[in-house]
Structure 1
Amino acid sequence: MRESGPEGGGGMDWTAFGEWWGAWGQPIGILLVIIGALVGYWILKVVIRRVVDGVVSGVKRKADAADTEALAHSPLAQVRVVQRTRAIGSVLNTLAAWVIGALALILILSILGVNAASLVAMASFLGAAAGIGAQGIIKDFLNGLFMVFEDQLGIGDIVDLGEASGVVESVGIRVTQVRDVDGTLWYVRNGEILRVGNESQGWARVVIDQAVPYDADIDSVQQRLLDVATEMSEHPDWLHRVIDKPEIWGVESVSAEAIVIRLVMKTRASAKWEAGRELRKRVKLGLDDLGMHLPSLQSIVVRGMDGKR
């Protein structure tokens, strides 16, 4: 560039600047768009991380926990708040990256001189290609997102997902990890989960279908079963885990070999299995006190409330 003017003053040679910009304008513009996209994504990421960390820190303070692992000894709701918050933060980071990347691509194409009609056609083509080629990934992503938002399951829950059942070890946006009773770790794609049976939310019910001889005194047996269950529910060790009075629902089935009586006890979800084992042991001892010899279960078919065996 050189100086010019009516009196040789210090004015800028706009012609030379225009030539220089014509040669380097596009690369500089593209570089500025890329830098702006990276800076914008970094800012959004920092904001999302601070919000997530703020929520997690608040939950830890409320639970008086030093780290996230310590929250396992706190109420399950607090663990789930941490889990959902972090999962949502991960989703927002991913969405921010995609949105900023798409805007940056549009701006770069505009700088390169691609017209609006071409951009629309390209976007339509890419959208159709993504819809065909990434249907499974999109389905996994959306289903995982809904499961997180709706709190259908959480880490530590005992669930039945159809093909896999066990304890949830990880809930991701695309894959949920479930470890079964044999120790096998199942990786279940969220898009393949059509139903979730969660045995760890709210309350649970221990159901015991006890077979007794056909000639047994039904009233005496029912009263003995109820006394045993009531005694257990009032014991200090179980007082806070049994949340309602045990009930005898009556005779469930009758056959030539035996009569089946149903005993139920409502417990906290986390105490169902332990309470069930203890109740069965007490039922056995209680029936022994009556001198009762129980029939074989091989020929007895019991049907539940839903009609299933």
Structure 2
Amino acid sequence: MAESGQGGEGGGIDWAAFAEWWAAWGAPIGVLLTIIGAFIAYAIVKAVIGRVVHEVVTGVKRKADAADTEALSNSPLAQVRVVQRTRAIGSVLNTLAAWLIGAFALILILSILGVNPASLVAMAGFLGAAAGIGAQGVIKDFLNGLFMVFEDQLGIGDTVDLGEASGVVESVGIRVTQVRDVNGTLWYVRNGEIVRVGNESQGWARVVIDQAVPYESDIDAVTQRLLDVAVDMSEHPDWLGRIIDKPAVWGIESVSAEAVVIRLVVKTRASAKYDAARELRRRVKAGLDDLGVTLPSLQKIVVQGIEDGVA
């Protein structure tokens, strides 16, 4: 039986040979298995997060009876925000999971390679000190990114102004938020550098048109025509769901020797602001043409007010 235990004629396992083989190859195999396990764990976590995000988004679409996310623009704001915020949180959780799994795998690999626990603790203390000195920016990015998402400051698909970059949010990560501007440029903005967020996709928006007309024009007639044009547009079936309040003429914004500037405002859904502004300008132009009003040169117009230059 002793011979069997040593791998003799009995065909038993040669434990001594196995131990020798494991001593030579055990560490590399353990490292390889740890790396594979980390990738598998991340794939599983990512799939679970993706599934949860998909179920939430699908449930919102089903509840709103919408075929796609874009169609939710005509649904209550809360439903749109749930979709955008859920996707942003999913993006952040994926990144966080990758960091945590990677750190855990690194600790296992170091243990397999024979690094004792005391050394791991010392290394953790060293890394903590390094983080406190040299990685403050990363920590700031991390915390600011979490707060932005969980406070619903922005979400994937939102149109935002982050100061240095403005456009549509394409991705929200732990460290970087990706924003694509109107020219198609993709901006990578560090979360820690974002000190203000202007979100054009939350709540409602306002189309503001400062219309200049010649000084000699009948201001009452022009004002009434502008209001009529805006009201007709708001009552059109194509705009009933996107204009959410009655249009208004706020009055004369500025007066010069060449022109009088009249401010027309229309309250819309956030997602419809720019489309509504373009259509309203087209209708205003047609309405003024009907009155026979010839517009003055824009180079001579000076707009004065707290929202100077907004049109």
TM-score category of the 2 structures, normalised to the smaller one: 0.7 to 0.9
RMSD (Å), alpha carbons: 3.8
What is the percent sequence identity of the aligned residues?
A: 61
CA distance in 2, matches of 1:212, 1:280: 14
Mark the CA change 1:165 to 1:58 in structure 2 (over 3 Å): closer, same or farther. closer
Question: Map of 1:200-239 to 2, 5 A cutoff?
Answer: 200-239=201-240
1:194 aligns with 2:179: no
Q: Summarize the alignment of residues 60-75 of structure 1 with structure 2, pairs less than 5 Å apart.
A: 60-64=58-62, 70-74=68-72
SS of the residue 2:298 aligns to = coil
Q: Hey, what does 1:5 align to over in structure 2? A: none
Alignment of 1:1-309 (within 5 A): 46=44, 50=48, 53-64=51-62, 70-74=68-72, 76-94=80-98, 96-97=100-101, 100=104, 123-306=124-307
What TM-score, normalized by structure 1, do the two folds share?
0.74
With structure 2 as the length reference, what TM-score do the two structures score? 0.73
Residue 273 of structure 1, CA deviation: 0.8
Kindly indicate whether the alpha-carbon contact (under 8 Å) linking 1:37 and 1:100 is maintained by their aligned counterparts in 2. Answer: no
Q: Distance in 2 between matches of 1:186 and 1:227?
A: 42
Report the residue type matching 2:156 in the other structure.
I
Question: C-alpha distance in 2, partners of 1:112/1:61?
Answer: 49
- Would the alpha carbon gap of residues 108 and 127 (structure 1) be closer, same or farther in structure 2, given more than 3 Å must change? farther
Please give the alpha-carbon distance, in whole angstroms, between the structure 1 residues aligned to 2:37 and 2:187.
39
Residue type matched to 2:249 in 1?
I
| Distance of aligned partners of 1:123 and 1:105 in 2 relative to their CA distance in 1, 3 Å threshold | farther
Provide the rounded CA distance (Å) in 2 between the counterparts of 1:212 and 1:196: 36
Rounded to whole Å, the distance in 1 between the matches of 2:255 and 2:174 is 49
Contact 2:159-2:200 within 8 A present in 1 as well:
yes
Distance in structure 1 (CA, Å) of the matches to 2:117 and 2:173: 39
**Residue in structure 2 matched with residue 16 of structure 1 by the alignment:** none
Deviation per residue, 1:189-211 (Å, 9 max, x gap)? 22222211111222110000011
Per the alignment, in what secondary structure is the counterpart of residue 249 of structure 1?
strand
Question: Which amino acid in structure 2 is aligned with residue 163 of structure 1?
Answer: E
Of 129-138 and 284-293, more deviation after overlay is shown by: 129-138
Deviation at 1:132, TM superposition (A): 2.1
In structure 1, the residue matched to 2:10 is none
Identify unmatched segments of 5+ residues in structure 1.
3-27
* Alpha-carbon offset, residue 85 of structure 1: 3.8
Q: Distance in 2 between matches of 1:194 and 1:63?
A: 33
Change (3 A) 1:36 1:283: closer
Q: Write the deviation string for residues 167-208 of structure 1: whole angstroms up to 9, x where unpaired.
A: 222222222222222222222222222211111222110000
What is the DSSP-based 3-state SS (H/G/I as helix, E as strand, rest coil) of the residue aligned with 1:186? Answer: strand
| Distance in 1 of aligned mates of 2:182 and 2:34 | 51
Q: Pick closer, same or farther for the CA change 1:81–1:181 going to 2, 3 Å.
A: closer
Q: CA deviation at 1:119?
A: 7.3
**Aligned-pair distance for 1:101?**
6.1
Paired amino acid for 1:53: R
| SS, match of residue 298 in structure 1 | helix
Unaligned runs of 5+ in 2: 3-25, 74-79
- Residue pair 1:210, 1:262 contacting (<8 A) in 2 also: yes
- Is 89-98 or 283-292 further displaced after alignment? 89-98
- Equivalent pair of 2:38/2:105 in contact (CA under 8 Å): no
Q: CA deviation at 1:130?
A: 1.9
CA pair 126-184 structure 1, distance change in 2 beyond 3 A: closer
Residues 52 and 89 in structure 1, CA contact (< 8 A), matched pair in contact too: no
Alignment match, 1:22: none
Higher relative contact order (CA 8 A, sep 6+): 2
Measured in 2, the distance between the counterparts of 1:169 and 1:298 equals 38
The letter of the residue matching 1:97 is I
Partners of 1:38 and 1:227 lie apart in 2 by 68
Please state how far the C-alpha of 1:37 moved relative to its aligned partner.
12
Distance 2:49 2:117 in 1: 39
Task: Name the CA shift for 1:196/1:301 in 2 (closer, same or farther; >3 Å).
Answer: same
> Contact between 1:140 and 1:174, CA under 8 Å: does it hold in 2?
yes
Q: Which residue of 2 aligns with 1:23?
A: none
